[in-house]
């Protein structure tokens, strides 16, 4: 009986303390790794922060990158393991440098000094306890620009609640609607269930979009001089080749659930990476999205009444858009 009581107390504590890295349940994988003792979780990381790049990044949505760039910090590791990953060298945890929470705070402040429009945390959830500490420290030392949480959305809503008041802008993916696609490409049949709940929590925290002027117009009109997002949620959907119906289902869900209280970013930049993608196992992914497919999806979004959104133009399906993960700025 005592053992059963102890087990009950243990599991109650796990639900109350999602930040415990001695038995990690931060994300839906619930891998229970003792990351605090050097074990790696599903994310391929211990509890030591590992990051691969911190720099001004120009390739986010215009209201995020602005004209000076988004202060992106790319964290190593990922809890998704997508078979088509564009950033596989960093997501697989092979690239990066271990840093302390104190150093991470310094990086945030350095990016602000470089005139970053915001601090952009890319794939951060598996380091959330340390990131929370670093953000609190940086804010107490003068960090004043918005903080962006850039995630796959395979997150637990209760974990994200730990960030309430620290994050200004959420930049989540909504990769799949179909459980079958989540299972096939990310071994995450429950992806949509968790992602939809996570996005609901993000919208609760960030609220409706708020923008502020970027400043005086530039003489060079080729550069962006529009407003910058200060608060809100932009949900990204990467269109995959041959999966039009799933993309439509994602857009229907977002439109019916949030109307125009969020922005939707429809991306055509899927790039098959020959050195990573197993084209024999996933032959349907061994091509880019055609312009006709993408235009059909954009037209469908318009037919749903989606007004707040971003689309991509030109040739974005190129490895040249993938930044070098060379530990710059780390």
Q: Does 15 reside within a domain?
A: no
Residue 20 pLDDT level (bands cut at 50, 70, 90): confident
Q: What is the reported pLDDT for 51?
A: 97
- Using DSSP, state whether 19 is helix, strand or coil: coil
Q: Does 126 reside within a domain?
A: yes
DSSP 165: T
How open is the CA angle 121-130-29, to the nearest 5 degrees?
A: 75
Q: Does 37 reside within a domain?
A: no
Instruction: Mean pLDDT check: name the lowest of 10-19, 71-80, 219-228, 236-245.
Output: 10-19
Residue 322 pLDDT level (bands cut at 50, 70, 90): confident
Q: How far is CA 158 from CA 11, 150, 152, 202, 254, in A?
A: 15, 17, 16, 11, 21
Q: What is the reported pLDDT for 7?
A: 46
With a cut of 50, say whether residue 3 has pLDDT above it.
no
Q: What is the reported pLDDT for 19?
A: 78
DSSP 259: T
With a cut of 60, say whether residue 221 has pLDDT above it.
no
Q: What is the reported pLDDT for 223?
A: 64
Q: Does 52 reside within a domain?
A: yes
With a cut of 80, say whether residue 202 has pLDDT above it.
yes
Q: Does 9 reside within a domain?
A: no
Task: Give the whole-angstrom CA distance, residue 329 versus residue 111.
Answer: 9
Task: Give the whole-angstrom CA distance, residue 197 versus residue 86.
Answer: 25
With a cut of 80, say whether residue 318 has pLDDT above it.
no
Task: Give the whole-angstrom CA distance, residue 191 versus residue 78.
Answer: 14
Residue pLDDT, tens place only, 154-187? 999 999 999 999 999 999 999 999 999 999 999 9
Q: Which domain holds residue 284?
A: 43-321
Q: Does 3 reside within a domain?
A: no
With a cut of 90, say whether residue 218 has pLDDT above it.
no
- Using DSSP, state whether 270 is helix, strand or coil: coil
Task: Give the whole-angstrom CA distance, residue 141 versus residue 146.
Answer: 15
Residue pLDDT, tens place only, 103-158? 999 999 999 999 999 999 999 999 999 999 999 999 999 999 999 999 999 999 99
Which residues lie closer than 8 Å to 199 by C-beta, 6 or more apart? 153, 170, 172, 174, 233, 235
Residue 316 pLDDT level (bands cut at 50, 70, 90): low
Task: Give the whole-angstrom CA distance, residue 52 versus residue 254.
Answer: 32
Q: What is the reported pLDDT for 214?
A: 60
Residue pLDDT, tens place only, 263-294? 999 999 999 988 889 989 999 999 999 999 99
Q: Does 16 reside within a domain?
A: no
Residue pLDDT, tens place only, 44-100? 999 999 999 999 999 999 999 999 999 999 999 999 999 999 899 899 877 999 999
Q: Does 27 reside within a domain?
A: no
How open is the CA angle 77-79-82, to the nearest 5 degrees?
A: 95
The CATH number linked to 122 is 3.20.20.70
Contact 206, 233 (CB under 8 A): yes
Instruction: Specify the number of domains making up the chain.
Output: 1
Task: Give the whole-angstrom CA distance, residue 187 versus residue 135.
Answer: 32
Task: Give the whole-angstrom CA distance, residue 283 versus residue 257.
Answer: 34
With a cut of 50, say whether residue 10 has pLDDT above it.
no
* Mean pLDDT taken over the chain: 91
Task: Give the whole-angstrom CA distance, residue 168 versus residue 74.
Answer: 18
Residue 319 pLDDT level (bands cut at 50, 70, 90): low
Question: Where in the chain does DSSP place strands (E)?
Answer: 49-57, 70-75, 97-99, 119-122, 147-151, 169-172, 210-212, 228-238, 263-267, 309-311
Q: Which residues pair with 11 in a beta bridge?
A: none
């Amino acid at each position: 009986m005592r053992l059963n009581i102890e087990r009950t107390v243990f599991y109650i504590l796990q639900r109350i303390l999602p930040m415990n890295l001695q038995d990690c349940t931060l994300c839906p994988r619930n891998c229970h790794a003792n990351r605090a003792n050097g074990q790696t979780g599903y994310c391929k990381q211990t509890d030591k922060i590992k990051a691969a790049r911190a720099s001004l990044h120009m390739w986010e949505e215009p209201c995020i990158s602005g004209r000076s760039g988004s202060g992106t910090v790319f964290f190593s590791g990922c809890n998704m393991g997508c078979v088509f990953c564009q950033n596989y060298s960093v997501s697989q945890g092979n690239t990066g440098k271990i840093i302390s929470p104190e150093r991470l705070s310094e990086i945030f402040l350095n990016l602000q000094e470089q005139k970053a429009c915001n601090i952009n945390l890319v794939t951060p959830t598996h380091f959330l306890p340390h990131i929370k500490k670093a953000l609190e420290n940086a804010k107490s030392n003068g960090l004043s620009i918005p903080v962006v949480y850039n995630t796959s959305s395979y997150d637990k809503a209760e974990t994200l609640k730990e960030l309430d008041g620290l994050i200004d802008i959420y930049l989540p993916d909504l990769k799949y609607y179909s459980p079958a696609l989540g299972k096939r490409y990310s071994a995450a049949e429950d992806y949509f269930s968790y992602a939809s709940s996570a996005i609901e929590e993000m919208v609760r925290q960030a609220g409706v979009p708020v923008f502020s002027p970027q400043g005086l117009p530039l003489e060079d009109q080729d550069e962006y001089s529009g407003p910058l997002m200060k608060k809100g949620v932009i949900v990204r959907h990467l269109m995959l080749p041959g999966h039009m119906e799933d993309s439509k289902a994602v857009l229907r869900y977002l439109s019916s659930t949030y109307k125009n209280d969020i922005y939707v970013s429809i991306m055509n930049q899927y790039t098959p990476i020959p050195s990573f993608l197993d084209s024999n196992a996933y032959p349907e992914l061994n091509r880019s999205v055609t312009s006709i497919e993408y235009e059909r999806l954009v037209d469908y979004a318009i037919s749903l009444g989606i007004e707040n959104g971003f689309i991509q133009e030109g040739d974005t399906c190129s490895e040249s858009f993938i930044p070098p993960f060379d530990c710059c700025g780390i």
